[in-house]
Chain A
Amino acid sequence: MFYKVLFMDSQHPPLETLQDIKRIMERSSRFISLSGWSGISAGICALVGAWAAQHRINSYVQTVYGGSFDSGRPRHYGLDTPAALYNDLFLIAAITFTTAFISAFIFTWIRSRRNGTRLWDRTVQRLAWNTMLPMVVGGLVILKAMEMEYFELVAPGCLIFYGLALVNASKYTLGEIRYLGYGQLILGIINLWAVRGGLYFWAAGFGVLHILYGAIMWWRYERKSSSQ
């Protein structure tokens, strides 16, 4: 049993060495500074955006149809036009996406500074490319769907392509993001057969799921380090 004595004296006990190896592998291949707060803030932005969109749609329906789409032909056509509605919704979507992205970026930036990792290294570049690819392709499909006036496909399209992007991203960052992706995919697919609830599915996916995911990730990885 002389080897026991040997490595008791050695500077690198085997368990510590293995842990080192694991840490280096993770650090060199995955971006691990993604903050739970990013998910929470993006989710809040999405909920506010969905609320604003709902508000705008309600006001359109109120003005033009006098209450509900189902009440038949538009009565006060011209006071509010589909083009104006379309423009406002597009603006709301753009503002929501921008604020969600910026707030998510800020929290992750703070965390990466605290971790002492660079924010633009190979792991981030790979993560960005693999997330953006499905999202950009999906964005084009959704734009085409809007052009063809398949507005019902916008919400499920967002959820499905974003879900695929997240599952793809899970190989390059904290692996749990995969489950957030599965959640978005399930909501998106159900939404395809429940097209009238688009905005609710959208709010559940981009709002509620993001906040839930962010809170869980914060609890798992950041709670201890922030209380120190």
Chain B
Amino acid sequence: MKNPIENLNKIFDSRIRMGVMSILVVNEEVSFNDLKQMLDVTDGNLASHMVNLEENGYIKVHKGFIGRKTNTTYSITRAGEKAFKDHIEALENMIKGMK
């Protein structure tokens, strides 16, 4: 029998990274501050998770300005969307396997 846990994506083990992906999958473009507020995390903590997701090619970073203040926004990539979908499928299969 195939082991369903091997389909789980290690990158999404973190609840924060999981949360970021959940938000980006239903919102086209979300700013760093909105993510921070929605997930209730600190700047430094979120930033390190965002770097991780970016390095894995799951999210795209857009650097912009509102006046003189930097405004960084994020969106999900195709690869990110697929990885997230596969991860959810794996979770669902685990639940089915439990019954």
Contact = CB atoms under 8 A, between A and B. Distances in A.
A29 interface: yes
Contact of A14 (B15, B22, B94): B94
B91 A14 contact: yes
Contact of A24 (B3, B23, B94, B98): B23
A25 B98 CA distance: 25
Interface stretch (A3-11, A87-95, A103-111, A176-184): A3-11
B19 interface: yes
B30 interface: yes
A84 interface: no
B38 interface: yes
Contact of B22 (A3, A25, A121): A25
Interface residues of B, number: 23
A104 B25 CA distance: 31
B1 to A, nearest CB: 8
Contact of B18 (A6, A21, A121): A21
Interface residues of A, number: 20
B21 to A, nearest CB: 8
Contacts of B23: 24-25, 28
Contact of A29 (B19, B26, B95): B26
Interface in B41-99: 88, 91-92, 94-95, 97-98
Contact of A17 (B5, B30, B91): B91
B38 A6 contact: no
A28 B94 contact: no
B18 to A, nearest CB: 7
A28 B95 contact: no
Given A17-B18, A25-B26, A121 B5 contact: no
B72 to A, nearest CB: 15
Contacts of A6: 5
Interface string A180-197: 000000000000000000
Contacts of B38: 24, 27-28
A76 interface: no
Contact of B5 (A7, A24, A122): A7
B95 A21 contact: no
B15 A12 contact: yes
Nearest to B21: A21
Interface of A: 2-4, 6-7, 12, 14-15, 17-18, 20-21, 24-25, 27-29, 118, 121-122
The 3 closest A-B pairs by CB, nearest first: A24-B22, A14-B91, A28-B23
7 contacts: A14-B92, A14-B94, A14-B95, A18-B88, A18-B95, A20-B15, A122-B34
